[in-house]
């Protein structure tokens, strides 16, 4: 029998490409996003009836549980959930805005927490299932204009590292996905050079292979990952010497 994957943020970018990739590999895909039109075109593009639309605003606490229940009633028990939905807004010190920070926290952090809140009791009771949380290499160290976005991604990294030992004990697998720059509608708005930029299809390929290999951290592209991991090891004096050059 085909396995079932629930992917949030499946309307565009990485989530959409991953939904198409997993459907092509024989998975039954429950695709969630806020924009119904995006889900409709995804279902049409996928063909074969393997992608099913389940609209969801991840910031709605109760809706996460309701959608998960609907997926399981219509398709069967979820084997894998990829909590991918998120957004990005640059913010410098000059335009520091509480509303921007709050919005990113509600979507990137609490939106993922809402999904976990629905999934964890179910998976722990079954003593099986895999959850993948999409964070970012931007969560490794603080970078200019990324104070709000990076903070949410750093929180997700910490959250997954904290949960993993207990979930291992409970029979639930957890993966942390840390992409670098990926071609998506969000990165199309960036006005700065994006090193080692990869397509959403390449990102989906890296994610799928990492999930099938049951890795905890799935990070790509590897050249950019090495650079960002080295930044984690730098003393603050050297880090700020580098990042100060990024301030315009």
Q: What is the pLDDT of residues 154-175, one digit of tens each?
A: 999 999 999 999 999 999 999 9
Asked if pLDDT for residue 39 goes beyond 90, the answer is yes
Question: What is the model's pTM?
Answer: 0.92
Q: Average pLDDT in the 203-215 region?
A: 97
Q: Average pLDDT in the 145-156 region?
A: 95
Q: Average pLDDT in the 186-210 region?
A: 80
Asked if pLDDT for residue 11 goes beyond 90, the answer is yes
CA distance 81 to 194: 29
Asked if pLDDT for residue 113 goes beyond 60, the answer is yes
Of the pLDDT bands very low, low, confident and very high (cuts 50, 70, 90), residue 78 is very high
| Range of weakest confidence among 84-93, 178-187, 229-238 | 178-187
Q: Does domain 4-246 have CATH number 3.40.50.720?
A: yes
Taking alpha carbons only, the member of 126, 106, 104 closest to residue 114 is 106
Of the pLDDT bands very low, low, confident and very high (cuts 50, 70, 90), residue 195 is low
Taking alpha carbons only, the member of 246, 9, 34 closest to residue 136 is 9
- Residue 120 confidence (pLDDT): 98
Q: Average pLDDT in the 219-241 region?
A: 89
Give the catalytic positions in this structure. 149
Of the pLDDT bands very low, low, confident and very high (cuts 50, 70, 90), residue 100 is very high
What are the structural domain ranges in the chain?
A: 4-246
CA distance 25 to 150: 33
Asked if pLDDT for residue 86 goes beyond 70, the answer is yes
- Residue 189 confidence (pLDDT): 63
| Range of weakest confidence among 117-121, 168-172, 183-187 | 183-187
Taking alpha carbons only, the member of 91, 86, 88, 131 closest to residue 110 is 86
CB 224 within 8 Å of CB 181: yes
């Amino acid at each position: 029998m085909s396995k079932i994957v629930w992917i949030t943020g499946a309307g565009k970018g990485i989530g959409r490409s991953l939904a198409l990739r997993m459907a092509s590999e024989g998975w039954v895909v429950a695709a969630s996003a806020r924009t119904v039109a995006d889900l409709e075109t995804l279902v049409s593009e996928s063909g074969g009836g393997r992608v099913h639309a389940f609209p969801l605003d991840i910031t709605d606490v109760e809706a996460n549980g309701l959608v998960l229940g609907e997926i399981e009633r219509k398709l069967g028990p979820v084997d894998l959930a990829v909590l991918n939905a998120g957004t990005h807004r640059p913010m410098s010190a000059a335009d520091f805005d509480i509303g921007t920070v709050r919005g990113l926290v509600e979507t990137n952090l609490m939106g993922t927490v809402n999904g976990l809140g629905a999934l964890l009791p179910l998976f722990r009771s079954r003593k099986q299932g895999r959850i993948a949380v999409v964070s970012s290499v931007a969560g490794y160290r603080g970078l200019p204009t990324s104070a709000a976005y990076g903070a949410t991604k750093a929180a997700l990294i910490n959250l997954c590292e904290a949960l993993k030992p207990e979930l291992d004990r409970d029979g639930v697998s957890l993966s942390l996905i840390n992409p670098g720059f990926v071609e998506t509608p969000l990165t199309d708005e960036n006005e700065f050079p994006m090193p080692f930029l990869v397509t959403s299809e390449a990102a989906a390929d890296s994610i799928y292979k990492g999930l099938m290999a049951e890795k905890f951290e799935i990070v790509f592209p590897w050249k950019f990952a090495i650079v960002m991991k080295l930044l984690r090891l730098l003393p603050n004096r050297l880090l700020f010497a580098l990042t100060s050059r990024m301030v315009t």
